[in-house]
Structure 1
Amino acid sequence: MTQRLPFRVAAPGKLYVAGEYAVVTPGQQAILIAVDRYVSATVTPAQPAQTATPTEQVLAHDHGVAAAANRSFGTDYALAAWLVMDALRAERGIDPIPVDLHFDSTLRSDTGEKYGLGSSGAATMAVITAFNELYDLGLTVTEKLKLGILASIEISPRASGGDLAAGALGGWVYYQAPDRDHLARVLSDNVSVTEAMTGPAWLPMRARRIPTPSEVQVLIGWTGSPAATDHLVSQATTNGNGLDWDADFLRPSAANVNSLLLALAEEKFPLIHAGIRTARKLLARMAHDTTTLVETPALTTLIDTAERFAGTSAKTSGAGGGDCGIVLAEPWVNADDIYAAWRDHGIQPLPLSVTQLGAGRKE
């Protein structure tokens, strides 16, 4: 039973609470939140494409067909997801339904700059969700996540998939990445999608919702500097400079994430604050030893300004190098006071909330 056209799907953005950089290593733990900013895709009957290649607004059926014929998708995450999903459709013996996908996003500023909320991952999950609805594929959340990873690693092999997990699940999310180096490349190596969704490389992957800590306020500030995530992650993970990656970063990060999970579950604020500050220190040491710019001066100002208020802890969120900082605050803290202090330093508060809605149909 395919879906009547048109219909609309949406996938949320994400922010890291703890575990970024470590999470690119298979099986390493991270905590993320899905935020109530979205990439939406409206699915309509196909029309002749107005452009030769997809735009940020439209991925036409014609674009997908041409990309499949040329085996080319460049750095377009939505197009890579289209190709993976169309291959899965064909493997299941389902006739194609020519449709166009019309995108809109609230993961950017009014002037079009990315907030660092995982727009590529959200676009990927929107395409996968659209195909799942269109062809009534009945995919589980884990299957949608796997398909998103198979699409994204074709473009960014180091991408952990954390943004995809948050987008697929919604809420507060615990995540461990698969062994992406040993996953099949379904677009470049022409392996069947069905086959690529199984195998030992997936064994380290974990993705699950964790209980939402109801008393925790999440405050987000944006420094206005988009981060080059792939470049930063590549630099951090290849620049040794004497860092014992396992002993100095991965193991302490894993222990800290596990402690933070317990602290959040029990809403023990002294332990929550300790976990956030430990995550910041670990990132700072890793950044120093790999000469990677994670915490820019603007992000340091964001964090230090927030932590002048009692009942708060703060850190960078995600790759750093600009983008967002995250604050976990106790329920009595006045967020407006922190926002005002940020604005005095040219930092933009982002009025975001944790969304419980993962990628899905939008009525």
Structure 2
Amino acid sequence: MISCRAPGKLFIAGEYAVVEPGHLAVLTAVDRYATATVADAAAGVAGEFGTAIGAPVGVHEASAAVTGAVAGVAVTLRSDLDGGVTLDCGRDGERLVPLTPDAVVPAAFAYVFAAASVIDRLLTERGIPSRPYEVDIVADLGDADGRKYGLGSSAAVTVATIAALGQFHELELTAMQRYRLAMLATIAVNPRASGGDVAVSTWGGWLAYGSPDRAAVAEIAAADGIDAAVHAPWPGLSVRPLPTPTGLALQVGWTGNPASTPALVAGLGTATRTPGDRATFNARSNDCVQRLLTAIEADDSAAVGSEIDRARELLLDLDQTSGLGIMTPRLHALCAAGIAVGAAAKPSGAGGGDCGIALVDRTRTAAIAELTGRWIAAGIQPLPLRTHPFEGETA
């Protein structure tokens, strides 16, 4: 039995611009996790966990009728997300397929199945037999009611699954190879995903990230295979660890309203902005992130705060001109509370709900306490998060 965990994330700056290849963002990993546990399983035997997805009787026959010859259960995926559910998978030739009546992957398993499929294709390309296995996914990236905080649960689940399956099949993957495999799985589900959350879930710590050209990467995988895509150059990709600022305390508040990052990012493409407007936003965001990187590496707390405020203003302008709904009333309140106590504050991620951040001089304990009180009064839940440290090499 092998278990691997991956941390959640917070965007510090660079949201929306980083969706475009080569554009930059700063993120940090936090100490909330998704854990994937892989165990050997006899073919055709599934464990017990939660509620099975698909009809309990005739599911294998129905799948076989849709996809051809499916030889029993090869893989069982189980998750404690969405109340605890199970998905059995079989093989149609060399292809992993869900054993559901319509042979469609349920949304609850989109990223786990994509990760398993990417590893499966890699094994086939390398001539490595795939053993039957079971995967259990657990996560603490939401509240007790199952509502997600917006800490990148999909990315953490994908990264943890890739890492665990890589160890199970003795693939000896480097951190960069794990990132690339997790990214290939991610863009199979969401082609617009920047991958910043995937990167920080892979490496941890504070990270400077430039997004790759996902369309080019997907074309390589489709034409030449997963192994080729893992080793080919990825245009636009850059990953660099950053020091954790020593003079600032990172405070995180949750609005209580989960948001859909893919929907908000997709909305950017149809918002009433001209290409020139978007290019201007991207350029200004990149300039802000570049200055932020300089400030972080110099451990200049005042300059870090100034760029966080600038990043917030850029998001406000984007919201006003595009109508995306980035800034909800509670995110406005979260930022206003931060400004009132002398902190730098902004939404973290795509907005529309989820989390916001405030960076406060860590010696100003009274200001931190006042910020917490203001957030609670505004219906914002402070989250006691710490940075998950950087691990591994980026080369």
Normalised by the length of structure 2, the TM-score is: 0.83
- CA distance in 2 between partners of 1:272 and 1:109 (Å): 30
Task: Answer yes or no: is the 8 Å Cα contact 1:49–1:63 preserved in 2.
Answer: no
Amino acid at match of 2:295: A
Q: Which residue of 2 aligns with 1:116?
A: 150
Q: Which residue of 2 aligns with 1:3?
A: none
Task: Answer yes or no: is the 8 Å Cα contact 1:43–1:101 preserved in 2.
Answer: yes
Amino acid at match of 1:266: A
Task: Answer yes or no: is the 8 Å Cα contact 1:220–1:324 preserved in 2.
Answer: yes
Q: Which residue of 1 aligns with 2:304?
A: 272
Q: Which residue of 1 aligns with 2:175?
A: 141
Q: Which residue of 2 aligns with 1:293?
A: 325
- CA distance in 1 between partners of 2:388 and 2:231 (Å): 30
Amino acid at match of 2:16: Y
Amino acid at match of 2:346: K
Say which is worse superposed, 50-59 or 191-200, in terms of deviation.
50-59
- CA distance in 1 between partners of 2:283 and 2:90 (Å): 43
- CA distance in 2 between partners of 1:243 and 1:280 (Å): 21
Matching of residues 199-348 of structure 1 within 5 Å: 199=232, 202-242=234-274, 244-310=276-342, 312-334=343-365, 335-348=368-381
Q: Which residue of 2 aligns with 1:11?
A: 6
Amino acid at match of 1:63: C
Change (3 A) 1:329 1:243: farther
Q: Which residue of 1 aligns with 2:17?
A: 22
- CA distance in 2 between partners of 1:230 and 1:105 (Å): 20
Task: Answer yes or no: is the 8 Å Cα contact 1:177–1:204 preserved in 2.
Answer: yes
Say which is worse superposed, 246-255 or 7-16, in terms of deviation.
246-255
Task: Answer yes or no: is the 8 Å Cα contact 2:89–2:97 preserved in 1.
Answer: no
Q: Does 1:354 align with 2:354?
A: no
Shift of 1:143: 1.2
Aligned partner of residue 142 in structure 2, secondary structure: coil
Shift of 1:63: 2.2
Shift of 1:181: 1.8
Task: Answer yes or no: is the 8 Å Cα contact 1:315–1:327 preserved in 2.
Answer: yes
Q: Which residue of 2 aligns with 1:197?
A: 230
Identical aligned residues as a percent: 37
Say which is worse superposed, 334-343 or 295-304, in terms of deviation.
334-343
Q: Does 1:48 align with 2:46?
A: yes
Aligned partner of residue 197 in structure 1, secondary structure: helix
- Runs of at least 5 residues in structure 2 that lack an aligned partner in the other structure: 55-76
Q: Which has the higher contact order (CA 8 A, sep 6+)?
A: 1
Residue deviations 1:72-97 (CA, integer Å, cap 9, x gap): 54541011000001111222222222
Q: Which residue of 2 aligns with 1:68?
A: 96
Q: Which residue of 2 aligns with 1:36?
A: 31
Q: What is the Cα-based RMSD across aligned positions, in Å?
A: 2.3
Q: Does 1:132 align with 2:161?
A: no
Task: Answer yes or no: is the 8 Å Cα contact 2:295–2:303 preserved in 1.
Answer: yes
Shift of 1:267: 2.0
- CA distance in 2 between partners of 1:210 and 1:59 (Å): 38
Residue deviations 1:242-287 (CA, integer Å, cap 9, x gap): 4624542011110110100111111222211110011011111111
Task: Answer yes or no: is the 8 Å Cα contact 1:160–1:177 preserved in 2.
Answer: yes
Aligned partner of residue 189 in structure 2, secondary structure: coil
- CA distance in 2 between partners of 1:13 and 1:64 (Å): 30
- CA distance in 2 between partners of 1:96 and 1:141 (Å): 22
- CA distance in 1 between partners of 2:14 and 2:127 (Å): 41
Q: Which residue of 2 aligns with 1:172?
A: 206
Normalised by the length of structure 1, the TM-score is: 0.90
Q: Which residue of 1 aligns with 2:185?
A: 151
Shift of 1:184: 2.3
- CA distance in 1 between partners of 2:10 and 2:388 (Å): 12
Aligned partner of residue 37 in structure 1, secondary structure: strand
Amino acid at match of 1:102: D
Shift of 1:36: 0.3
Task: Answer yes or no: is the 8 Å Cα contact 2:22–2:210 preserved in 1.
Answer: yes
Amino acid at match of 1:326: I
